[in-house]
């Protein structure tokens, strides 16, 4: 029987990170490799970049496999011999939901099902960690929103796909005897990120430094968490969770609105007299169909285990903006 109790990440010998070339994934690889853990990354490079991993190519504890999790044969080989799986691979673009819902079905749900099918055949497998999303809650009536929030109602196909993946993972963990840790992430920001509101605003201002288009009405208010705080949350959740299936909200303890983010980006780019042009948005001022207008997660559960974000939303956004600009993004 596989052990579903707490594990020490320093004792993990081999880990699989799907989506390891992506924004969160490459930071996680960096964190795990410092523990002398052997890391195998599987990624189709659809949204990630090999440049995020190039520093590890000569490391004997690192292996990269390019491929799709929808390829069951490849996935079966990928899970062989690993202790822990960090499943981060997914299409991260929420706005794609209303344009190409099949993409989220294939790259999120089907890929997760294939990975779970592979893991149930691997006898030495111990723990399955999954990065879900705050979008599974939809427009929650309870703010901040607790993990036990009744009847989550996603308003995007992306959010629905993440919720479906959670259900599959929980069912497989209970049926086949492994530990599952599910993280519902707020908006994660930092250097090496290639999508999200900060990137969007920087790109637009580089093209036109005198006028900035802002999707929605600017009042969309959400929690933003710096990548460094996110990675520590992933590690602590794995190490200290005790239940067969554990769910954690991961975010900051406050919020920031899009208009304030725009002002922060303009300030850090040292621009003046920038005219803001709001698109007006959809569904009460959201930036796109499926955009959650107000999001703040209750993170008390993870805090009880010893984790707490070092940066609040405004600090995380400012630091992420500074770091992205230093990269000549």
Q: What's the pLDDT tens digit per position in 167-182?
A: 999 999 999 999 999 9
The answer to whether residues 108 and 197 touch, using CB atoms and an 8 Å cutoff, is no
CA distances from 99 to 44, 103, 238 (A): 21, 9, 35
Q: How do the residues of the chain divide into helix, strand and coil, expressed in percent and rounded to 5? A: 40, 20, 40
Q: What integer is the mean pLDDT of 272-281?
A: 92
The answer to whether residue 4 is domain-embedded is: no
pLDDT of residue 281: 75
The answer to whether residue 239 is domain-embedded is: yes
- Which domain does 16 fall in, by range? 9-188+224-250
Integer Cα distance of 298 and 285 in angstroms:
24
Q: Is the pLDDT of residue 97 over 60?
A: no
Structure tokens at 286: 């959201």
Domain of 289, CATH number, reads: 3.90.25.10
Quick one: 289 and 196 in the same domain?
yes
Integer Cα distance of 46 and 107 in angstroms:
10
Quick one: 101 and 64 in the same domain?
yes
**Residue 257: how many other CB atoms lie within 10 Å:** 17
Integer Cα distance of 296 and 170 in angstroms:
24
The answer to whether residues 268 and 163 touch, using CB atoms and an 8 Å cutoff, is no
pTM of the model: 0.94
Q: Is the dihedral of CA 315, 228, 191, 136 positive or negative?
A: negative
pLDDT more than 90, % of the chain: 79
pLDDT of residue 11: 64
For the chain, give the number of residues: 329
Integer Cα distance of 143 and 131 in angstroms:
21
Q: What integer is the mean pLDDT of 246-271?
A: 98
Mean pLDDT, the chain, integer? 91
Quick one: 66 and 102 in the same domain?
yes
Model pLDDT for residues 134-148, shown as the tens digit of each residue:
999 999 999 999 999
pLDDT of residue 9: 66
Model pLDDT for residues 21-44, shown as the tens digit of each residue:
999 999 999 999 988 889 999 999
Quick one: 19 and 143 in the same domain?
yes
Quick one: 163 and 209 in the same domain?
no
pLDDT of residue 313: 98
Comparison of pLDDT for 195 and 67, the residue scoring more? 67
Quick one: which of 149, 177, 174 has its CA closest to 163? 149
The answer to whether residue 302 is domain-embedded is: no
Q: What integer is the mean pLDDT of 105-132?
A: 90
The answer to whether residue 268 is domain-embedded is: yes
């Amino acid at each position: 029987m596989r052990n579903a109790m707490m594990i020490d990440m320093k004792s993990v010998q081999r880990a699989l990170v799907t989506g390891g070339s992506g924004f969160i994934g490459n930071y996680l690889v960096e964190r795990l490799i410092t523990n002398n853990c052997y890391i195998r990354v599987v990624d189709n490079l659809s949204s990630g970049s090999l440049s995020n991993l190039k520093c590890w190519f000569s490391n004997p504890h690192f292996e990269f496999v390019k491929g799709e999790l929808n390829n069951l044969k490849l996935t079966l080989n990928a899970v062989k011999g690993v202790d822990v799986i960090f499943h981060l691979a997914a299409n991260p673009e929420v706005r794609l939901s209303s344009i190409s819902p099949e993409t989220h079905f294939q790259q999120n749900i089907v890929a997760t099902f294939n990975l779970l099918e592979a893991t149930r055949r691997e006898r030495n497998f111990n723990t399955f960690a999954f990065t879900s999303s705050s979008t599974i809650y939809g427009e929650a009536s309870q703010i901040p929103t607790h993990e036990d929030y009744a009847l989550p109602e996603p308003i995007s196909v992306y959010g629905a796909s993440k919720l479906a993946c959670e259900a599959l993972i929980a069912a497989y963990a209970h049926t086949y005897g492994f530990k599952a840790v599910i993280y519902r992430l707020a908006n994660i920001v930092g250097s090496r990120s290639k999508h999200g509101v900060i990137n969007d605003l920087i790109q637009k201002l580089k093209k036109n430094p005198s006028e900035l288009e802002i999707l929605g009405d600017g009042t969309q208010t959400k929690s933003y968490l710096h990548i460094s705080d996110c990675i520590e949350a992933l590690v602590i959740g794995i190490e200290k969770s005790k239940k067969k299936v554990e769910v954690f909200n991961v975010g900051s303890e406050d919020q920031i609105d899009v208009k304030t983010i725009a002002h922060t980006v303009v300030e850090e780019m040292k621009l003046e007299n920038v005219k803001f042009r709001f698109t007006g948005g959809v569904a009460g001022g959201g930036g796109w169909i499926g955009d959650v207008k107000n999001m703040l997660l209750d993170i008390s559960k993870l805090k009880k285990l010893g984790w707490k974000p070092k940066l609040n939303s405004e600090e995380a956004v400012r630091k992420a903006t500074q770091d992205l600009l230093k990269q000549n993004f």
